[in-house]
């Protein structure tokens, strides 16, 4: 019987999911304790050399945390990972990572796929998430950039808030100027659903309309240390999954395609806010990227159609 994200919960899935969640919780507890201890030392010891070494140790702890979580998933889940495009990526340079966004599962998938192939993967978080038990403090200790994301209604009432958002993006990225970093950006701004797609009037079949400003400001803040943009396409052929699906034998296959792209040189010096021609150029580049990504998702899904030619996930949250 083909997998469906809405399929009834079986006793086997309940046992496996509960066991995997317990492993995740114990793993998080162990590594968070170490993370907090090193963070405390980093805060109280004033020597720059010690703080740099502490920052490297914090990243090593975080990578070990992710490695154990990934090993737990591989040991308890039957998921097949079809991944291409990691050749040539390096850990000693910085990247912007641009991915489509369908599910909270995207983040553990990307963390596992890129673990120790590129610098430690960080992503923008809403300011409210710093209150999440254990994880909020860990994200803060690992220099994840926290953002106050204003609603569309708030921006319409007070357009100056847009400048506040962009300035916060610049400040968040500037801290990575002097060490390799990989910054993940979901330029759609939110997870794809058919309802959001219809409401937003996206020009793409399987993607929401992208927001290009964050990329331009991140590139300007980090500068030429950026080696490139890693464009990522994630597809779940059997349906957009929940986190429970990920840990309870409910996720048969994940498809990931990565491709490194050069960053246009003008992105390091252009003024996205004030220069209309530059802004249109950046938006056009991102639009072309999304046209390719839209076609790639179509092709990946078509390659996994059943013998009768019917797509196994017509209402999978991908179109």
> What does the alpha-carbon distance between residue 6 and residue 20 come to, in Å, rounded to a whole number?
20
DSSP helix/strand/coil, 7: coil
> What does the alpha-carbon distance between residue 276 and residue 279 come to, in Å, rounded to a whole number?
5
> What does the alpha-carbon distance between residue 198 and residue 137 come to, in Å, rounded to a whole number?
37
Nearest CA to 166 out of 97, 205, 102, 216 is that of 216
Q: What is the pLDDT of residues 192-223, one digit of tens each?
A: 999 999 898 899 999 999 988 888 888 888 88
DSSP helix/strand/coil, 123: strand
Retrieve residue 80's tokens. Answer: 């097949």
Q: What is the pLDDT of residues 32-56, one digit of tens each?
A: 999 999 999 988 998 989 988 998 9
Q: What is the mean pLDDT of residues 141-169?
A: 68
DSSP helix/strand/coil, 88: coil
pLDDT of 164 strictly over 70:
no
> What does the alpha-carbon distance between residue 292 and residue 254 come to, in Å, rounded to a whole number?
19
pTM for this predicted structure:
0.85
Instruction: Please report, for the chain, the start and end positions of each structural domain, with discontinuous segments joined by +.
Output: 80-302
Assign domain 80-302 one CATH number from 3.40.50, 2.50.20, 2.30.230, 3.40.1130: 3.40.1130
Averaged pLDDT score across all residues of the chain: 85
Q: What is the pLDDT of residues 251-279, one digit of tens each?
A: 999 999 999 999 999 999 888 888 999 99
Q: What is the mean pLDDT of residues 151-171?
A: 66
> What does the alpha-carbon distance between residue 160 and residue 155 come to, in Å, rounded to a whole number?
7
Q: What is the pLDDT of residues 64-106, one digit of tens each?
A: 999 999 999 999 999 999 999 999 999 999 999 999 999 999 9
Does residue 18 or residue 221 have the better pLDDT? 18
Predicted local confidence at residue 186, as pLDDT: 92
pLDDT of 319 strictly over 80:
no
pLDDT of 308 strictly over 60:
no
């Amino acid at each position: 019987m083909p997998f469906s994200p809405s399929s009834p919960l079986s006793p086997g899935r309940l046992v496996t999911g509960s066991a995997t969640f317990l492993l995740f919780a114990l793993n998080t507890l162990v590594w968070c304790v170490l993370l907090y201890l090193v963070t405390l030392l980093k805060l109280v010891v004033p020597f720059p050399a010690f703080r740099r070494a502490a920052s490297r140790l914090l990243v090593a702890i975080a990578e070990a945390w992710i490695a154990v979580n990934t090993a737990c998933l591989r040991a308890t889940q039957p998921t097949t990972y079809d991944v291409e495009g990691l050749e040539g990526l390096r850990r000693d340079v910085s990247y912007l990572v641009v991915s489509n966004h369908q599910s909270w599962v995207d983040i553990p998938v990307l963390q596992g796929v890129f673990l120790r192939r590129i610098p430690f993967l960080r992503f923008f978080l809403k300011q409210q998430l710093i209150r999440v038990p254990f994880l909020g403090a860990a994200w803060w200790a690992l220099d994840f950039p926290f953002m106050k994301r204003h609603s569309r209604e708030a921006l319409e009432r007070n357009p100056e808030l847009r400048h506040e958002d962009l300035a916060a993006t610049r400040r968040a990225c500037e801290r990575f100027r002097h060490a390799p970093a990989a910054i993940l950006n979901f330029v759609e701004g939110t997870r794809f659903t058919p309802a959001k797609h219809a409401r937003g009037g996206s020009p793409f079949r399987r993607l929401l309309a992208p927001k290009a400003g964050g990329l331009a400001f991140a590139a300007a803040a980090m500068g030429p240390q950026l080696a490139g943009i890693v464009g990522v396409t994630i597809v779940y052929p059997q349906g957009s999954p929940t986190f429970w699906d990920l840990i309870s034998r409910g996720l048969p296959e994940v498809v990931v395609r990565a491709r490194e792209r050069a960053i246009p040189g003008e992105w390091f010096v252009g003024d996205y806010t004030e220069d209309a021609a530059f802004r249109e150029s950046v938006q056009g580049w991102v639009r072309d990227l999304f046209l390719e990504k839209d076609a790639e998702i179509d092709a990946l899904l078509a390659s996994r159609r059943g013998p009768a030619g019917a797509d196994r996930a017509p209402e999978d949250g991908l179109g």
